[in-house]
Amino acid sequence: MTNALVSRGARHGRGRLLGLVAAGLLATGLVSPTTATAAPTPPTGTALREVMFVGNNWDGTADVIASSGDFARIGRVNIIPDKAERLWEIYLDPIKLAFFLGIRFGPGEGHDQFVDDMYTTPDGSAVVASRPSFADVVSIDLATGRVRWRFPVSGFRSDHMAVSPDGRRVAVSASTSNTVHVLDIETGAEVGSFRAGDKPHENVFTDNGRYLWNMSIGEVNTDLDDPALDFTKGDRHITVVDTATFTQARVIDMRPRLDAFGRSDLSDAVRPVAFTPDESTLYFQVSFFNGFLEYDVATDRITRLKTLPKNPGTSDDRTTFVNDSRHHGMSMSPAGDKLCIAGTMDDYATVVDRATLTEGPLVPAAKPYWATVSGDGRSCVISESGADQVTAIDFATGRRTVSVPVGDHPQRVRIGHVPTAWTGPATR
């Protein structure tokens, strides 16, 4: 689709047209050629409060809510304060515009993807977020709402991130260049990078930050979803690198491991994952599957599989699954005894006992897209992208405790910190 867009643009004088469009947008005030990004340095030693950041992908905002209890909304951050400047750049570049529109009508389901993932700096003064449609990572000052720094990723789309255990480095997947960048969270300077499989996706630090795992999911934006056409999805594997040198420590291709387990019918595109507290066991979701698998890290083999119930109202037509993900989102209780699973296309979430792999009540949810653990460890918090809310599910009972309204199409939910008295940027 991208090549076709570029070709049509060339045939019809796209460059001249874009110039006129950009000029028109400038005249109407929708975009401007420059946006101030300077921000004052926040005071040090500020008392911090633990919170949750909820990334509203289509809004371009992040809601900040309490990390446990009633999960009450505290404030909201605009993650795209420089939207005008970014659009100006995109409309003047036919290649960037082609990918921008490709994201909108591909993974964006007809919407721009303005915020994917986010983490706060150790001092709680800024939130660092990946913005797929703008192909970058930015640091937003939580006092002023301004951009502190911006890092354009290689290629044309940024995706999932991970923060190192010490909070000082953030890894981001550049999905169209098959690259993972690792940045200094305070300055945005690149401290390293490495090549991954096709369409790098989830990132996880292990061994107290010594290793970084990246899961590549391959091409998920085509309708070539029949198992016989699986070869069109590209090279999908887990890349494990040493974070001191960013050299490969291990590559894990789940294809032969799935075959050895007797499930050659399953996709080898590893989606969200969850490690046990001792990092000896990895649980992972794969494209098109309503369930998850268990992988023993030391013996390098898949040991168990859990198939979860299908929603009778969900079509089995794979082309109807959002970005090939039937289930997308999982987290583990701090004790390591429960898993929380987001059944995205089946419109529910459930808590699964890890010892027996028995699921609890199916909690109705509208296209749940992520699952994380509350600050107190008692709840799983899911983002209901189809209902614009987040919902807490008690790990002990498996039942919903509270739902809180947020912005348009919430996806990633992450624990973070803000100054104790913070209620939102002063310039909001």
pLDDT category, 37, cuts 50, 70, 90? very low
**What per-residue confidence (pLDDT) applies to 102?**
93
**What per-residue confidence (pLDDT) applies to 35?**
34
Q: State the residue for tokens 């502190």.
A: 148
pLDDT category, 49, cuts 50, 70, 90? very high
Domain count, the chain: 2
Contact of 367 with 19, CB cutoff 8 Å: no
* Mean pLDDT value across the chain: 90
CATH number where 378 lies: 2.130.10.10
**Interatomic CA distance for residues 212 and 161, integer angstroms:** 11
Q: Which of 110, 128, 155 is the last residue of a domain?
A: 110
Instruction: Assess whether 323 and 202 both reside in one domain.
Output: yes
Tokens of 178: 């098959």
Cα–Cα distances (Å) from 403 to 41, 45, 387, 391, 412, in that order, read 36, 33, 10, 4, 16
Q: Above 50 in pLDDT, residue 227?
A: yes
Q: Is residue 42 part of a domain?
A: no
Instruction: Assess whether 327 and 203 both reside in one domain.
Output: yes
**Interatomic CA distance for residues 77 and 127, integer angstroms:** 9
Q: Is residue 278 part of a domain?
A: yes
Q: Is residue 176 part of a domain?
A: yes
**What per-residue confidence (pLDDT) applies to 60?**
97
- pLDDT, tens digit, 9 for 90 and up, residues 228-276: 888 889 999 999 999 999 999 999 999 999 999 999 999 999 999 999 9
**What per-residue confidence (pLDDT) applies to 10?**
35
pLDDT category, 44, cuts 50, 70, 90? low
Residue bearing the bigger pLDDT, 28 or 124: 124
Q: Above 80 in pLDDT, residue 20?
A: no
Q: Is residue 38 part of a domain?
A: no
Residue bearing the bigger pLDDT, 388 or 227: 388
- pLDDT, tens digit, 9 for 90 and up, residues 376-389: 999 999 999 999 99
pLDDT category, 428, cuts 50, 70, 90? very low
Q: Is residue 190 part of a domain?
A: yes
The domain in which residue 142 lies consists of: 47-79+114-419
Instruction: Assess whether 213 and 355 both reside in one domain.
Output: yes
Q: Is residue 425 part of a domain?
A: no
Instruction: Assess whether 88 and 119 both reside in one domain.
Output: no
pLDDT category, 27, cuts 50, 70, 90? very low
**What per-residue confidence (pLDDT) applies to 172?**
98
Overall residue count recorded for the chain in this entry: 428
